[in-house]
Amino acid sequence: MSEDLPNPPPPKVPEKVTLQSIADIAGVTRALVSMALRNSPRVAQETRLRIRKIADELQYKPNPMVRALMTQIRQGRKTSYKATLAFLTNLRSADYWRTLHTFPEYFRGAQERAAHSGYSLEHFWLGEYRQNTSRFVQMLNARGIPGVLIAPLPHGTTELNVDLSTMSAVTMGYSLATPWVPRVCNHHLQTIETAIQNLAARGYRTIGVALSESDIRQVNHLWIAGLTVASRKYPQIELRIFEPAVWSEEAFRHWFRQHSPEVIVGVTRELWLWTLNLNLAVPDQLGFLHLDCSRDDELSGMYQQTARLGAVATEMLINFVEENIQLRDEESRILLINSEFHEGRTLRKQADITKAAPSAKAARI
């Protein structure tokens, strides 16, 4: 009587699945695997199905950039092509982002970095697909667009209702909470701390800070964290915080009459208009510092290097695309970009820098 022979052990699954990995398990050549996965009629249907089954079991994911390159080579075309990346906005209308002072800079920096790396960047508005967001992903796949750069969401919005799990994706800023996407952000804590340092150096001692609740939430409450750090580093200053129940010009004027700050710090153009309406001479009677001004702004404040931020976010996205790392596989990561102080015309000239130096006690904290 014969004994049953033990089943052979299953083949070891490699850590990184390649065409050669599939070929080794299937017992065929790498070239045959490549043709089978492209549904080449030169490969028998039974063999194609068997190879596809092995690829599925190994969770093989072809690199879309390599696939596009090999297609061009097989078709005899030049290889110096530009793959397209998506710049996605979800604002009130398709072109509204062009009216904002930060978004065009994000796009310019991203577009320049993409072109430098052999890619093109194209804007898409999610509003066109709001009734059926899966159509957006289908369109990207049909066009061979492997990566999405997600622009900041509008205030009050924290979720992007579209499944980008099979794409490479990067976002800018903290506004997008769901799904979690690797992101490049301004270093908001450094931004406001540097702003307070500059104000202290110019002799300001009573500093009014006016930030709406939506401004605070938009940056993951980091404005408040930065103010806490700055107040401990510069104990000679007094911070007067505008925290109204209702964000309005009337409430702002009432707060200003109560506290009489020497300078206003904020992050909206609306606040700048409210400051002008106080009918005080700027900067002689009242200073103003904007936390997100443009590079050539008349307002003094912090330039958040938005073009560079867009460029760095695109660089991260391209790395994901070329490593074939999809959103479902991406690790949580945040890369921070420092701001630069912009002189402008709305602050008095710098006083003796020694007046702004933190005390020995504060320096040790």
Any idea what the CATH number is for the domain that residue 354 is in?
A: 3.40.50.2300
Is residue 160's pLDDT more than 60? yes
Dist. CA 337–CA 276, nearest whole Å: 31
Give the model confidence (pLDDT) of 16-37 as tens digits.
Answer: 678 888 988 999 987 788 788 8
Task: Give the model's pLDDT for residue 181.
Answer: 95
Please tell me the predicted confidence (pLDDT) of residue 277: 97
Collect all residues with Cβ–Cβ distance below 8 Å to 188 and sequence separation of at least 6.
219, 220, 222, 223, 225, 226
User: Among 87, 318, 334, 343, which Cα is nearest to 186's?
Assistant: 334
Return left, alpha or beta for 305; rule: phi > 0 is left, psi -120 to 50 is alpha, else beta. left
Least confident of 142-146, 300-304, 347-351: 347-351
Instruction: Tell me, yes or no, whether 87 and 5 share the same domain.
Output: no
In a domain, 272, yes or no: yes
User: Residue 52's domain is classified under what CATH number?
Assistant: 1.10.260.40
Residues of the domain holding 20: 1-60
Query: In terms of domains, do 272 and 282 share one?
Result: yes
Confidence category of residue 15, pLDDT binned at 50, 70, 90: low
pLDDT tens for 312-327 read 999 999 999 988 888 9
pLDDT at 11: 53
pLDDT of amino acid 351: 55
* Per-residue confidence (pLDDT) for residue 364, from 0 to 100: 29
Shared domain check, 281 and 251: yes
Would residue 263 count as lying in a domain?
A: yes
Cα separation values, 50 from 6, 22, 23, 32, 40, Å: 24, 11, 11, 12, 14
How many angstroms separate the CA atoms of 87 and 151, rounded?
7
Question: What digits encode the pLDDT tens for the residues 90-99?
Answer: 999 999 999 9
50, 96: one domain:
no
Q: Is residue 193 part of a domain?
A: yes
| Residues 231-256: tens digit of each pLDDT | 999 999 999 999 888 999 999 999 99
Bigger pLDDT: 183 vs 72: 183
Q: How confident is the model at residue 354 (pLDDT cuts 50, 70, 90)?
A: very low
Q: Indicate whether 73 pLDDT > 80.
A: no
| Structure token pair of residue 257 | 């009459």
Q: Are residues 15 and 46 in the same domain?
A: yes
Reply yes or no on whether the pLDDT at 357 is more than 60: no
Q: Is residue 291 part of a domain?
A: yes
Q: How many structural domains are present in the chain?
A: 3
Residue 68, in any domain of the structure: no
**205 plus 254 within the same structural domain:** yes
The larger pLDDT score, comparing residue 64 to residue 246, is at 246
The answer to whether residues 360 and 230 belong to one domain is yes
Q: Look up residue 21 and give its amino acid.
A: S
Q: What is the mean pLDDT of the chain?
A: 87
Judge if 25 and 104 occupy the same domain: no
Candidates 348, 338, 224; CA nearest to 280 is 348
